[in-house]
Amino acid sequence: MTIPNDIPVHPVRSGSVYFVGAGPGSPDLLTVRAARILGKASRVVYAGSLVPEEFMHALAPEARWVDSAGLTREEIVDSLVEGANRGEVVVRLASGDPAIFGAMAEMTTELDKQGISWEVVPGVSSVFASAAALGRDLTLPEVSQTVILTRTAGRTPMPEGEEIESLARHGSTLVIFLSIDRIEELVERLTSVLPEKTPAAVVARASWPDEILIQGDLSTIAVMVRAAKIYRQALMIVGKALDPELRKSARSRLYAADFGHGFRDPSGGGTPSESAGP
């Protein structure tokens, strides 16, 4: 990858661990910084089923690649620590963005205990890749201005007050991870709070070549998902922001002709800096 000379170059330090967001799947959604760090990596610990392995290998052909799919948390941390103590540039390659269901805290806590420096490189989350694939806003003026990212309880229980029914009562856009294998139960719980005609969509493997888009409402989405044989690597989006009729009428006041702000004078007399005087 050729980087223009006028773009500031982020330093890459040996003996450090980088938690790098690999993006949702499509290789060209990897950030420039992530690609640079991978190019300098000596060790890459990654989840083989969740990142485009062949392309990523090409970015770091000399690195030792460690597939974490069959490893425990302790084994993953041991590999990170071992590489850093050897003075390597170590990458923990996470799908999407490391900050969302990335189990980062339990690894960085151990790195801190051992005095190993680490850094986070953000990635494009499947949340935004899914919204892009659907061609939908997650927020609409006067419809929904809040997005809740959550999951349902599985092996990891939900904290008190974060049950899906409690979150659905807000009426916000819900993005639900790691729950598609229990979609019938999920829909039953959602429809105990929301109308059955609430718009819903499921995106499987967002941005991958075999991406699947399912659009319906809470009364139809589970049947459609099962018919498409989607059982994992998918998220569900629920809320009125997906409603095509509401989208037609939604208008942001920020861009209204009679709305002024720091960069626009609603009177038509030029920008505020030109018309307001000293």
Above 80 in pLDDT, residue 238? yes
Provide the greatest CA pair distance for the chain: 66
| Residue ending a domain, choose from 124, 139, 154 | 124
Residue 84's pLDDT is 97
- Position 278 in a domain: no
Residues 134 and 239 both lie in one domain: yes
Residue 233 lies in a domain: yes
**Residue ranges making up the domain that contains 230:** 127-249
- Assigned domain for 272 exists: no
Give the pairing of strands 212-217 and 147-151: unpaired
Q: Is 257 inside any structural domain?
A: no
Same domain flag for 140 and 118: no
- Cα separation, 255 vs 92, whole angstroms: 41
- Predicted pLDDT of residue 153: 83
Of the candidates 69, 102, 124, which is a domain's last residue? Answer: 124
Residues 96, 219, 157: CA angle, nearest 5 degrees: 45
Q: Are residues 78 and 132 in the same domain?
A: no
Does the structure show a pLDDT above 80 at 37? yes
The H or E element spanning position 274 is: helix 272-275
Q: Which CATH number characterizes residue 203's domain?
A: 3.30.950.10
User: What is the number of domains present in the chain?
Assistant: 2
Q: How many other C-beta atoms are found inside a 10 Å radius of the C-beta of residue 79?
A: 18
Structural contact between residues 69 and 49, judged by C-beta atoms closer than 8 angstroms: yes
Co-location of 134 and 111 in the same domain: no
Is 267 inside any structural domain? no
Q: Where are the strands (E) in 95-204, listed by range?
A: 118-121, 147-151, 173-177, 199-204
pLDDT over 80 (residue 251): no
% the chain with pLDDT above 70? 87
84 and 165 assigned to the same domain = no
User: pTM for the whole thing?
Assistant: 0.87
Question: What's the pLDDT band for 263 if we cut at 50, 70, 90?
Answer: low
Q: Which of 81, 99, 124 is the last residue of a domain?
A: 124
